[in-house]
């Protein structure tokens, strides 16, 4: 790493030739991950083995929680968390509509009803005020999402959950290592993380639920394993949501690398924010230390497609997360139960956001290409 305010000039990976495409993500799997996988293949334990148990302990400790329960994906982590809390038919869970589809889909799969509330414009996260306004006598849980790696207002959500007697379920799929007022996200309530290939760390596919409640941990383990513990009877309805030993072996190596990768993402985000013109960079919110799973900017409505085309022509990938709110997805037709959805900040974000490359694999030349390409864009009159 170069100086504090300057990204590395010599990447540890092979440098791409000038003009090579700058990708939106760059999953890093090296010799240590390969060795870890081969060690599993050379052994005889592929499921429910020591690597899964070790990864659960290490990831939980990293985030300040007592227990981790590894799962097959981030989506199944959310589902297992809901099931373990006994959330199901007749219950409501307050969620944002500006998030990945799995946030609300997990609620439906558990048999409960998602109730959509608006986001906070500064953070893109669920608004505590909007969430409280959506509470009814059927509300069982509130699910703030640490979107793009930005922590939600966990002081407000913790207070709301305690005062209204709600389960606090953190969707931390994009926020490995993020902190709120110095405390790791994922440690405030029950939390779910994803290890999909493009996340800040990966197991190729996988997830984990964190909790500090011993009895809830027991129920989580039952829910992810057909409702059975060891060779005992099936005491509740669960499914096969387990993580395998190969995934856990990769995850342990990736977790050791996560702090360095996070530092590079933050460095790259600062570099971009200090130099980009025309677009509005992510805001610096006191007390929240994001991990920049995505570097998401805003730009005036109507300019996004032309900026994306401008950057694409210059070999720079971009993505829109998310162009359509969850409640507007075809799968939710007929599932909204008469909700009066007034979500102005959600709709505005869907029109205005654009994510630029920020991953740890970038070097200074690539960051400068991003800056030059954005700053030479001429908005349409």
Is 321 domain-assigned?
yes
Same domain, 90 and 222: yes
Same domain, 194 and 332: no
Domain encompassing residue 309? 258-375
Domain containing residue 143: CATH number? 3.40.640.10
pLDDT band at 69 (very low <50, low <70, confident <90, very high): very high
Domain containing residue 311: CATH number? 3.90.1150.10
Residue 371: burial class (beta carbons within 10 Å; 0-12, 13-18, 19+):
middle
Residue 376: burial class (beta carbons within 10 Å; 0-12, 13-18, 19+):
exposed
Same domain, 264 and 197: no
Domain boundary among 252, 272, 297: 252
Same domain, 265 and 364: yes
Statement: residue 9 has pLDDT above 80: no
Domain boundary among 218, 252, 286: 252
Same domain, 106 and 214: yes
Euclidean distance between CA atoms 195 and 172, whole angstroms: 11
Residue 163: burial class (beta carbons within 10 Å; 0-12, 13-18, 19+):
exposed
pLDDT band at 324 (very low <50, low <70, confident <90, very high): very high
Mean pLDDT of all residues belonging to the chain:
93
- 3-state SS class at 220: helix
As a whole number, mean pLDDT of residues 289-296 equals 98
Same domain, 92 and 137: yes
**Cβ–Cβ contacts within 10 Å for residue 229, how many?**
12
Lowest pLDDT segment from 173-182, 290-299, 331-340, 367-376 = 331-340
Is 356 domain-assigned?
yes
Is 77 domain-assigned?
yes
Statement: residue 81 has pLDDT above 60: yes
Is 18 domain-assigned?
no
pLDDT band at 197 (very low <50, low <70, confident <90, very high): very high
pLDDT, tens only, 88-123: 999 999 999 999 999 999 999 999 999 999 999 999
pLDDT band at 18 (very low <50, low <70, confident <90, very high): low
Is 314 domain-assigned?
yes
Euclidean distance between CA atoms 261 and 201, whole angstroms: 9
Count structural domains, the chain.
2
Same domain, 62 and 196: yes
Domain boundary among 228, 252, 276: 252
Euclidean distance between CA atoms 263 and 214, whole angstroms: 33
What residues have CB less than 8 Å from 148, skipping those under 6 apart?
124, 174, 282, 290, 292, 293, 294, 295, 296, 321, 355
Is 26 domain-assigned?
no
Same domain, 199 and 57: yes
Indicate the pairing of strand 207-211 with strand 67-71: antiparallel
Euclidean distance between CA atoms 354 and 298, whole angstroms: 6
| Closest-CA residue to 202 (of 239, 246, 146) | 246
Same domain, 263 and 315: yes
Euclidean distance between CA atoms 32 and 194, whole angstroms: 21
Query: Structure pTM?
Result: 0.94
Statement: residue 381 has pLDDT above 90: no
Q: CA angle at residue 97 from 94 to 103, to 5 degrees?
A: 70
Task: Report CA 295 to chain centroid distance, whole Å.
Answer: 13
Is 7 domain-assigned?
no
Is 275 domain-assigned?
yes
């Amino acid at each position: 790493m170069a100086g504090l305010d300057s990204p590395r000039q010599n990447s540890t990976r092979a440098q791409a030739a000038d003009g090579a495409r700058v990708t939106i993500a760059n999953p890093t799997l090296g010799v240590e991950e390969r060795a870890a996988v081969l060690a599993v293949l050379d052994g005889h334990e592929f499921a429910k083995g020591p690597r899964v148990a070790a990864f659960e302990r290490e990831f939980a400790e990293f985030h300040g929680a007592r227990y981790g329960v590894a799962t097959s994906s981030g989506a199944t982590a959310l589902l297992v968390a809901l099931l373990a809390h006994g959330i199901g038919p007749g219950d409501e869970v307050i969620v944002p509509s500006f998030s990945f589809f799995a946030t609300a889909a997990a609620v439906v799969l558990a048999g409960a009803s998602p109730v959509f509330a608006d986001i906070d414009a500064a953070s893109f996260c669920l608004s505590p005020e909007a969430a409280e306004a959506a509470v009814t006598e059927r509300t069982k849980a509130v699910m703030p999402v640490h979107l793009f790696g930005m922590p939600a207002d966990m002081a407000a959500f913790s207070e709301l959950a305690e005062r209204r007697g709600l389960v606090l379920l953190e969707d931390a799929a994009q926020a490995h290592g993020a902190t709120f007022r110095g405390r790791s996200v994922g440690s405030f309530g029950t939390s779910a993380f994803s290890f999909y290939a493009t996340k800040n760390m990966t197991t190729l596919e996988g997830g984990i639920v964190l909790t500090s409640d011993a009895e809830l941990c027991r129920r989580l383990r039952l829910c992810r394993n057909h409702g059975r513990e060891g060779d005992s009877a099936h005491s509740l309805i669960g499914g096969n949501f387990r993580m395998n030993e190969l995934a856990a072996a990769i995850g342990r190596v990736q977790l050791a690398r996560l702090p360095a990768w996070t530092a590079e993402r933050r460095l790259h985000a600062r570099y971009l924010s200090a130099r980009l013109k025309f677009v509005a960079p992510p805001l610096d919110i006191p007390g929240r230390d994001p991990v920049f799973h995505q570097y998401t900017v805003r730009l005036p409505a109507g300019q996004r497609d032309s900026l994306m085309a401008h950057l694409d022509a210059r070999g720079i990938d971009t993505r829109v997360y998310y162009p359509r709110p969850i409640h507007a997805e075809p799968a939710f037709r007929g599932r909204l139960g008469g909700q009066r959805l007034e979500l102005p900040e959600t709709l505005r974000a869907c029109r205005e956001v654009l994510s630029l490359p920020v991953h740890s694999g970038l070097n200074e030349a690539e960051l400068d290409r991003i800056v030059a390409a954005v700053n030479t864009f001429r908005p349409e009159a």
